[in-house]
Amino acid sequence: MASVTFDHVVKKFGDVLAVNDLSFTIDDKEFLVLVGPSGCGKTTALRCLAGLEEITSGTIKIGDQVVNDIPPKDRDIAMVFQSYALYPHMTVFENMAFGLKLRKMPKEEIQKRVDAAAKTLEIQNLLNRKPRELSGGQRQRVAVGRAIVREPKVFLFDEPLSNLDAKLRVQTRKEITKLHNSLKTTFIYVTHDQVEAMTMGTRIAVINHGVLQQVDTPQTLYDSPANQFVAGFIGSPSMNFFQAKISKSDGKLFVVTDSFKLEIPKEKNKVYGPYDGKKVIFGIRPEDIYNPEFPSTGIKAAPVECKVDLLELMGDEIYVYLMSGSHDLVARVDPRSKYTLGSKVQMAFDMSKFHIFDIEQNPENPIAIR
Amino acid sequence: MKTPSRFLNWLRGLPTHLILIGLCLIWILPSLGLFITSFRPVQDINETGWWTILAKPKGYEEFQAYCASCHGSDGKAISNADLTNPELVQNYRRSFALLTSLNREIDGQIHMGDTPIPDDKTTATIASYMRRISGIEARPKFTLSNYIDAITGYRGNSTYVTDCAAGNQSVDLYCNIRDLTNPRGMGRAFINSLLVAIPSTILPILFAAFAAYAFSWMDFKGRQWMFALLVGLQVVPLQMTLIPISRLYAQLGMNGTFWGIWLFHTGFGLPYAIYLIRNFMGSLPHEIFESAYLDGASHWTAFTKLAIPLSVPALASLGIFQFLWIWNDLLVALVFLGGKYPVLTYQIGNMVTSLGSGWHLLTAAAFISMALPMIIFFALQRYFVRGMLAGSVKG
């Protein structure tokens, strides 16, 4: 049981910067998810914490102890690998007992712990099998079991669900969350799947190109993304972005793109007022675009004319791919909506739920204006 | 519709099959001949080829032509002149005695009647045949005497068994269990070969496994360079080093010792062994090792508990290769052990005298030296086949 602190951690492979100045703290008993596109450095960050990679500079602390120079075996952490990394020549029992034996634990204690873990994971009947005789889901459980028998301070998961089929993934996701609730230990979980991140994490750290973008609770991350990358990464389908300009006329603020002009609600004038005449990115999530026939209550609808390009029927909703001028966007609308391809329609943007990103200050990754 | 096409297929495949069968025969036939010959009595080897083993013994034709009309085809037709009776035939052991008898009159009649008297050579063949059927010189079609002679290092005109039975064995033989380790025999050479080959197989593989683990999973400076250098060492020809190392061993007093040859084989086995095992170990999933390190394993534990058990296919195949190469090696054994501890390859050559006699012992000696490699091959052949792919294809 311990907190984990990354303090200005840098990891270079030759000239390639894999982790760039990563600083954040993971509280004790927290379930933190590191999420980002593949190759963003999230796994490297995890491996640095595990001690499998040496960090180039900065410090990593587990609890109050700086672990930079402590070898992996003394860091008291357990890791579940994407490929499970079970020892192929050992039985499930031996796999789970391996770490305990190396720590010279008495036999009865090992037996007790393995049995308890096997019971939790419902793999008691597999203890005498070899890994090759197990299915993917069973191997995954054994890998988790091997981690929990050690009762480590911190659990690390490196995309443990990515080799499972979709159904099993949803099921295992729930089980890992339950496991966290019952073990009450710090969990650090790496994934590229934002659904896993949103459903499992108590907090999520979004990483891109080795740089930490934002750490926050899932809901905050979703509602107020810190920058355009986070806004686009979290949410499916992802947020629609438009090149836009803020302009003021008759004392009202408008967001102007080349195909539409929307009024900014009065209460936000104070926030966006200073950006009058500046170029910005206007972002709105697909579920905040409505079919005017079926609006939700309490939205500030603003009409935008679009052309229907493609329809994806999901059953409970419809993904409508639209063209507004030369710009495409997607909306998630009520399934009762009737659309024909190529027709011109009016869509309602909910102007209480939009995002504006400052592109002038930071053209690489525009920062949200709040 | 189906039958003709199948026939056509068969016809199309026929040349391939014929060529394959032909190739197999070319490979197997000499060994088969050698194998059969090694079980034949020395006289038979000298008289006829191994392919005649199923034919009638030599002299049968001649006997049938000249003698069978009166004596019967089995030689027993005339009861007072039973040619299978050893006491009678004992008088005609030699061809000239037989010839005299043939020229003589028997019971007032010409012995041979109308049949012309055979010439000297034919008579000798018939005499030899009669000795065989009468049991004076009965010899089995197959015998182990070549093997016994080769193992005990017997050199003489008869066989070890007959000489020992007669009590006129040569001075270096005792006619008891001690003869199995007679320094002139293949038995002792077999033991010497084992004494050379087993440590020379285990030592380099052991060291190479350590090195391969280090090259695969330990991070140290110059790792790639050192590995490249080691692999490059394979180009050094063994023959080039014979003289310098022989001189060095002479100074160290290691010529003619097992230590010397173990060290030599270890040194020359290492580069290839490291190369092969490293490639195999390097292809094991690194997560397994990382997982072990997190589980608290030191490098030593990871080596003994993971790397070694998981590399068994590569180690086994390398073991087979190294063992066979040392077992069949003549050059190194000759230079560093010589006649002091003769190994199999060395002793096989000694089976034949300088006059070329005793080559029947060669056949048996060859099979004695082949026995162990063949047992190893058939026992471990699944590793052998898998091991040939070791390092090249994962899994």
Q: Above 70 in pLDDT, residue B392?
A: no
Asked if the domains at B60-133 and B186-388 fall in one CATH topology, the answer is no
pLDDT-derived band at B393 (thresholds 50, 70, 90) equals very low
pLDDT at residue number B394:
35
Looking at per-residue pLDDT, the higher value among B385 and A155 belongs to A155
Report the chain A residue with the minimal C-alpha distance to residue B291: A85
- Is the CB of B395 inside 8 Å of chain A's CB atoms? no
Place of tokens 């008289």: B47
Tens digits of residue pLDDT in A288-309: 999 988 888 888 888 899 999 9
- Is the CB of B166 inside 8 Å of chain A's CB atoms? no
- Partners of residue A72 in chain B, C-beta under 8 Å: 290, 293-294
Out of 1.10.150.80, 3.40.50.300, 1.10.3720.10, 3.40.50.1170, the CATH code matching B186-388 is 1.10.3720.10
Q: For residue A11, what are the contacts with CB-CB under 8 A and spacing of at least 6?
A: A17, A18, A19, A41, A44, A45, A48, A53, A55, A56, A210
Report the chain A residue with the minimal C-alpha distance to residue B306: A87
Contact B157, B286 (CB under 8 A): no
Instruction: Identify which of B287, B288, B294 has the shortest CB distance to residue A78.
Output: B294
Q: What is the ipTM of this complex?
A: 0.85
- Partners of residue B287 in chain A, C-beta under 8 Å: 81-85
Residue-averaged pLDDT of chain A: 91
- Partners of residue A82 in chain B, C-beta under 8 Å: 287
Instruction: Identify which of A75, A81, A99 has the shortest CB distance to residue B287.
Output: A81
Contact between A83 and B287 using a beta-carbon 8 Å cutoff = yes
Report the chain B residue with the minimal C-alpha distance to residue A147: B295
Q: Above 90 in pLDDT, residue B117?
A: no
Q: Of B196, B194, B192, which is closest to residue B182 (Cα–Cα)?
A: B192
What H or E segment, with its residue span, contains residue B381?
A: helix B381-388
Report the chain A residue with the minimal C-alpha distance to residue B308: A89
Give burial (CB, 10 Å; 0-12/13-18/19+) of A270: exposed
Contact between B291 and A79 using a beta-carbon 8 Å cutoff = yes
Tens digits of residue pLDDT in B147-171: 998 999 888 778 888 888 888 888 7
Over residues B296-310, mean pLDDT: 93
Contact between A72 and B293 using a beta-carbon 8 Å cutoff = yes
Q: Which fold has domain B60-133?
A: Cytochrome Bc1 Complex; Chain D, domain 2 (1.10.760)
Instruction: Render the burial of B108-131: b for 16+ CB within 10 Å, e for the rest.
Output: eeeebeeeeebeeebbbbbbbbbb
Q: For residue B139, what are the contacts with CB-CB under 8 A and spacing of at least 6?
A: B41, B43, B44, B132
pLDDT at residue number B119:
85
Starting at the earlier edge strand, list the strands of the sheet with A154-158: A77-80, A154-158, A186-191, A31-35, A203-208, A211-216
Contact between A52 and B293 using a beta-carbon 8 Å cutoff = yes
pLDDT at residue number B338:
84
Choosing among A67, A75, A89, A130, which should be mutated to test the B contact, i.e. which has the most B CBs within 10 A?
A: A89
| pTM for this predicted structure | 0.80
pLDDT at residue number B386:
62
Looking at the complex, report in whole angstroms how far the Cα of residue A272 sits from the nearest Cα belonging to chain B.
50
pLDDT-derived band at B390 (thresholds 50, 70, 90) equals very low
- Partners of residue B305 in chain A, C-beta under 8 Å: 87, 98
Please report, for residues B31, B41, B121, the alpha-carbon distance to residue B45 in angstroms, rounded to integers and kept in the order given: 16, 6, 19
Over residues B338-351, mean pLDDT: 89
Alpha helices, DSSP H, located in chain A: 42-50, 92-102, 107-121, 136-148, 166-183, 194-200, 218-223, 228-233, 269-272
Q: Of A66, A67, A15, A35, which is closest to residue A218 (Cα–Cα)?
A: A35
pLDDT at residue number B3:
65
pLDDT at residue number B92:
82
Q: Above 50 in pLDDT, residue A136?
A: yes
Domain ranges of chain B: 60-133, 186-388
Choosing among A73, A74, A83, which should be mutated to test the B contact, i.e. which has the most B CBs within 10 A?
A: A73
Looking at the complex, report in whole angstroms how far the Cα of residue B150 sits from the nearest Cα belonging to chain A.
46
Interface of chain A against chain B, CB under 8 Å? Answer: 50-52, 71-73, 75, 77-79, 81-89, 98-99, 102-103, 146, 150
Please report, for residues A20, A36, A61, A65, A207, the alpha-carbon distance to residue A5 in angstroms, rounded to integers and kept in the order given: 15, 19, 5, 10, 16
Please, which residues bridge with residue A305 across strands?
Answer: A346
With a pLDDT cut of 90, the percent of chain A lying above it is: 60
How far the first Cα of chain B sits from its last, in Å, is: 44
